[in-house]
């Protein structure tokens, strides 16, 4: 079943059932929820800005992709998950890791390639992994996360019966990913086998530098779920409350009915594809439009209008966020570099007889060449 949506001139969709624009200003729970969303979004924003700065200072190596502009989608999705849920995501995953529960210091340490990082320095920015929070990795290959996420959902279906606390899989991808074969193959098998997984397309209108309209025969990507009779919906990814409410409903269905669903969250990317991308393929008008859809000032305006937030509160929240980010950087700076002797550790899940561990430049046979 595909939801009925009305499209705006920019190609965005509004869903009447999940529209959260009419907020009850007298509801304390709603106030607390919105303020917590705002604080978390501000923290992720400043974490990512600092990550960009650290990359330019050569503290972070490899590639680095930021969640700038995606913060509302991040917090809305992750707040709707339960601790036992498994998360598979793209290489644009810093904010998701933090919002799912990973320690920001350990996330920053991983970006630095340090031993105290969530992946102990092996993963870096693109391959965050945290067993404690059930973050099953950022994936460097476009769409690489979709088959293993679908497999994890299959394992859950074997081990768990549908219930209110049954784990599910949340699989996040970008818009460009929907054009690869693994996307269609995985959705098909998830539908046939009725797997407890929610696929989330974060549509920021650009697959690297190519617009969705130019790359997709059907640019309304949520409609692709209809080919497999998967309930699908397109939502405003710049409204954390709409993302949260929709995700709660979709996650509940996946949990209690053990069937796949699909969400397409629309959100503008504020910067280039990666830290080193100047985004020259975007016109001045397109950049201005993206800035107008920045979810943080949009939420600020709503909160101020509801008398939930004052200018002095904003100053305090930003200062607190910057202090937490500085603490994360200090933790990363003080973390030791990985031991070179661990270079080949964890290649296999357990030690194997005669597993070769010789490091470059070492003698062919010495005490370190083979596992004990």
Dump the DSSP string for 305-341: HTTS--HHHHHHHHHHHHHHHHHHHHHHHHSPPPPGG
In a domain, 319, yes or no: yes
Distance CA 223, CA 297 (A): 30
In a domain, 129, yes or no: yes
Estimate to the nearest angstrom the gap between the alpha carbon of 206 and the chain centroid: 16
Distance CA 246, CA 341 (A): 47
In a domain, 267, yes or no: yes
8 A C-beta contact, residue 125 and residue 60: yes
In a domain, 189, yes or no: yes
What pLDDT does residue 23 have?
A: 45
Distance CA 347, CA 184 (A): 30
What pLDDT does residue 162 have?
A: 95
CATH number of the domain at 190, please: 3.40.50.970
What pLDDT does residue 22 have?
A: 43
DSSP secondary structure letter of residue 331: H
What pLDDT does residue 348 have?
A: 80
In a domain, 148, yes or no: yes
- Rounded to 5 degrees, φ, ψ at 236 are -80, 105
Q: What is the pTM of this model?
A: 0.89
DSSP secondary structure letter of residue 17: G
What pLDDT does residue 20 have?
A: 43
SS3 202: strand
What pLDDT does residue 341 have?
A: 80
8 A C-beta contact, residue 260 and residue 195: yes
Structural domain for 90, as ranges? 6-338
In a domain, 343, yes or no: no
> Total structural domains in the chain?
1
Q: With a cut of 50, list the residues of the chain below it in pLDDT.
A: 1-26
């Amino acid at each position: 079943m595909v939801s009925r949506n009305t499209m705006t001139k920019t190609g965005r969709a509004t869903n009447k059932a999940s529209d959260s624009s009419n907020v009850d200003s007298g509801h304390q729970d709603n106030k607390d929820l919105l303020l917590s969303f705002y604080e978390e979004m501000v923290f992720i924003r400043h974490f990512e800005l600092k990550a960009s700065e650290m990359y330019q200072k050569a503290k972070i190596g490899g590639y680095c992709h930021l969640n700038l502009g995606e913060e509302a989608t991040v917090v809305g999705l992750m707040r709707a998950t339960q601790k036992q849920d498994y998360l598979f995501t793209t290489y644009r995953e810093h904010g998701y890791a933090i919002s799912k529960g990973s320690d920001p210091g350990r996330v920053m340490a991983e970006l630095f390639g340090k031993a105290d990082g969530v992946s102990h320095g092996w993963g870096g920015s693109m391959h965050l992994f945290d067993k404690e929070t059930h973050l099953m990795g950022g994936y460097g290959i476009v769409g690489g996360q979709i088959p293993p996420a679908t497999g994890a959902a299959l394992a859950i279906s074997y081990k768990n019966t549908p219930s209110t606390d049954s784990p599910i899989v949340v699989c996040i991808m970008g818009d460009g990913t929907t054009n690869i074969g693994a996307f269609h193959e995985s959705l098909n098998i998830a539908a046939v086998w009725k797997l407890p997984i929610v696929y989330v397309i974060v549509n920021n209108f650009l697959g690297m530098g190519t617009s969705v309209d130019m790359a997709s025969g059907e640019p309304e990507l949520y409609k692709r779920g209809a080919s497999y009779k998967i309930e699908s919906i397109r939502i405003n990814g710049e409204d954390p409350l709409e993302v949260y409410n929709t995700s709660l409903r979709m996650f509940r269905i996946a949990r209690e009915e053990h069937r796949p669903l699909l969400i397409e969250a629309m959100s503008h990317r504020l910067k280039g594809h990666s830290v080193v991308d100047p985004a020259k393929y975007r016109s001045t008008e397109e950049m201005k439009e993206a800035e107008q859809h920045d979810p943080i000032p949009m939420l600020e305006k709503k909160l101020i209008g509801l008398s939930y937030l004052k200018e002095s509160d904003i100053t305090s929240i930003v200062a607190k966020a910057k202090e937490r980010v500085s603490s994360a950087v200090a933790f990363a700076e003080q973390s030791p570099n990985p031991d070179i002797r661990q270079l080949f550790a964890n290649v296999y899940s357990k030690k194997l007889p005669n597993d070769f561990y010789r490091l470059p430049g070492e003698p062919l046979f010495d005490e370190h060449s083979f596992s004990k």
